[in-house]
Amino acid sequence: MPSTVVSVSTATLLLVLDLLGIAVFAASGALTGVQKQLDIFGVVFLAGATGLGGGFIRDALIGATPAAALGDWRYLAVPAAVGVVGFRIHPTIARLARPLVVLDAAGLGLFAVAGARKALDAGIAAVGACAIGLVTAIGGGIIRDVLVREIPVVLHREIYATAALIGTFVVVVADRLGVPDTLTAVVAIAVTFVIRVVSKWRRWSAPVAARRDD
């Protein structure tokens, strides 16, 4: 009985975290859409593609179909609502840039860890699970940028994907060591979150190759 209660609570918590992550990513999609002067449909679509795209790629690659987000209306309603609201109040959202960075870092950790976990549960080995976790975390943002004709920001600025990748390493190493799932998830999300927030705050960035004209 207690275990059922706990399990229900954990499932609820995970659902809430998952929806929160989707909402934050969707908000970045909605803002981008407004900036690019998309119409309201375009803004909502971009919110949805940014919030759900990473998970869709994950599910198509590991064969977890129909994709998870298609089976629960809340996964579709949340980014749609964020898109509509974002279309109306975008100056307010834009002013929230700093809190959004923090929420986005949480979403990044959550998506990376949940993606790696889901891949391990589908029987995929460690390296593949890291790749899937990474794609889950950054796939939505890449789709967002490609759709508005930008080189994906994750490929050329800041420490972002690296933070996600380190989070997935924590998951697969802890899984190998037999650490309980919940503890692993909390630590891995925290690691990703901290690396991302600190790197943003200290303005760290990854090296770029020198252009040598030879």
Per CB under 8 A, residues contacting its own copies are 33-34, 36-43, 45-46, 48, 56, 59-63, 65-67, 69-71, 73, 76-77, 87-88, 90-91, 119, 122-128, 131-132, 142, 146-152, 154-157, 161-162, 205-209, 211-212, 214
DSSP type of residue 70: G
Nearer to its own copies, 36 or 96 (CB): 36
- Nearest approach, Cβ of residue 90 and its own copies (Å): 6
Q: Round to whole Å and give the CA distance between 3 and 92.
A: 43
- Nearest approach, Cβ of residue 96 and its own copies (Å): 14
Nearer to its own copies, 24 or 31 (CB): 31
Q: Look at residues 181, 132, 188 and name the one whose alpha carbon lies nearest to residue 163.
A: 188
- Nearest approach, Cβ of residue 43 and its own copies (Å): 7
End-to-end CA distance of the chain: 71
Amino acid 197 reads V
- Nearest approach, Cβ of residue 143 and its own copies (Å): 10
DSSP type of residue 157: S
The two tokens of residue 206 are 């990854």
Contact criterion met (CB below 8 Å) for 18 and 110:
yes
In 63-125, which ranges are continuous DSSP H helix? 73-95, 97-121
Nearer to its own copies, 13 or 77 (CB): 77
Nearer to its own copies, 46 or 106 (CB): 46
